[in-house]
Chains A and B, each alone.
Chain A
């Protein structure tokens, strides 16, 4: 395998195959920790945009429309589209690409499908690394489309700078809007399929419920937009809202994200160090035989 610096240079110079292979290696955990550090250091602070929402709400179609909006402004767009792996066979069917075919042949767009491979938060464990690679290769924004999310697949909010939650007019009543979970992590909410009856009403209800927020968690109510992605309606205002959110980022938000990246790096490194230890197999046996609890074993392996 060539050096990471060389592979990144090739990717930055437009070698799409080199980038594709790098993404595969990241997904398969084939890079050394020092290379992962260099990869993230090579990033250019691309805007990481998360797109999440229930299955069939139009996330991929919306991403397709957003790509066009960004391309018309000269931005190079990277997309990671995550679909679920089968808990039974480990296989997956990834179909997000079907909706994004408008941009085939455009060298300013790179779309990669990714199976979740057992992770449960709506992303794969290595999605953050593949996003970092697209950033390092010169794509900005980098859009991450999650697995179709229910109410609590909220990991995207810890990774993306701007999280867009896509809903549909039939999303339910005001009580759904005040439940904990997906809507809470939204920086921007968009009611897609806006040509269906009730879209404007759903948007009004959401705005009313979200504006009553208070208590200990004070954050501004996210804007609620309406789009019809398939026709391109409402996409430009959505792009503007996404960019306005980043323009308004606070030092505290930057710190929170940095803390999250550090947490991921620490977890990765600590696990690697422990798993490399000569005592690992013995520790697994001790935990299996209930002679030692896993936390004590972890302390010992990392100590």
Chain B
């Protein structure tokens, strides 16, 4: 057993909060991040904010990635950030992807969502962002 922190894979929770049933994007991203060397915990469809926060806590992830296409992002995403922070997970990066109007992006960032990835984003861009912004642990 070697304790090489730099070689430790980044752990990412990928979830689809809310009621939309379109998870192709999330699955493509899960697969892409796997190929980029991330450990991805995929929790599937129809997650409540409480489910996402519980899973993030138990799995001790570095990143929570939220895919949402339903239009409910202004309700669900700030709530998830609030619950995640409420559990003391201060250093967990929360990012979102999906169909989110530009006008909402600034509001989401103000609510604690670190980044919002829209259509056309490449897997490589997401992976690079996670590598640069995910917490580093001793």
By the criterion CB–CB under 8 Å, are B59 and A91 in contact?
Answer: no
Which listed residue, B34, B44, B138, touches A91 by the CB 8 Å rule?
A: B34
By the criterion CB–CB under 8 Å, are A91 and B40 in contact?
Answer: yes
Given known pairs A89-B37, A93-B31, A101-B43, the reply for A126 and B1 (CB within 8 Å) is yes
Given known pairs A30-B3, A115-B9, the reply for A86 and B40 (CB within 8 Å) is no
A126 to B127: give the CA distance in the assembly, Å: 26
By the criterion CB–CB under 8 Å, are B33 and A272 in contact?
Answer: no
A10 to B118: give the CA distance in the assembly, Å: 40
Which residues of chain B are within 8 angstroms of A94 by Cβ–Cβ distance?
39-42
Residue A4 lies at the interface, judged by CB distance under 8 Å to chain B: no
A177 to B12: give the CA distance in the assembly, Å: 39
Which listed residue, A30, A91, A97, touches B36 by the CB 8 Å rule?
A: A91
Residue A16 lies at the interface, judged by CB distance under 8 Å to chain B: yes
By the criterion CB–CB under 8 Å, are B1 and A89 in contact?
Answer: no
By the criterion CB–CB under 8 Å, are B58 and A92 in contact?
Answer: no
Residue B5 lies at the interface, judged by CB distance under 8 Å to chain A: yes
A275 to B3: give the CA distance in the assembly, Å: 12
Residue A110 lies at the interface, judged by CB distance under 8 Å to chain B: yes
Residue A28 lies at the interface, judged by CB distance under 8 Å to chain B: yes
In whole Å, how far is B122's beta carbon from the nearest beta carbon of chain A?
16
By the criterion CB–CB under 8 Å, are A272 and B59 in contact?
Answer: no
By the criterion CB–CB under 8 Å, are A111 and B51 in contact?
Answer: no
Q: Nearest residue in B to A95 (C-beta to C-beta)?
A: B42
Contact digits for A19-32, partner B, Cβ 8 Å, 1 yes 0 no:
01101100011100
By the criterion CB–CB under 8 Å, are A21 and B60 in contact?
Answer: yes
A85 to B35: give the CA distance in the assembly, Å: 10
Q: How many A-B contacts at CB < 8 Å in the complex?
A: 93
By the criterion CB–CB under 8 Å, are B8 and A91 in contact?
Answer: no
Given known pairs A86-B35, A89-B35, A104-B54, the reply for A98 and B3 (CB within 8 Å) is no
In whole Å, how far is B37's beta carbon from the nearest beta carbon of chain A?
5
Which residues of chain B are within 8 angstroms of A89 by Cβ–Cβ distance?
34-37
A101 to B50: give the CA distance in the assembly, Å: 11
Which residues of chain B are within 8 angstroms of A16 by Cβ–Cβ distance?
57-58
A202 to B11: give the CA distance in the assembly, Å: 40
Which residues of chain B are within 8 angstroms of A86 by Cβ–Cβ distance?
34-35, 37
Given known pairs A29-B2, A93-B31, A272-B1, the reply for A24 and B60 (CB within 8 Å) is yes
In whole Å, how far is B35's beta carbon from the nearest beta carbon of chain A?
5
By the criterion CB–CB under 8 Å, are A28 and B8 in contact?
Answer: yes
Which listed residue, A23, A97, A98, A125, touches B1 by the CB 8 Å rule?
A: A125
- Max chain A Cβ within 10 angstroms of own Cβ: one of B39, B44, B50: B39
By the criterion CB–CB under 8 Å, are B54 and A105 in contact?
Answer: yes
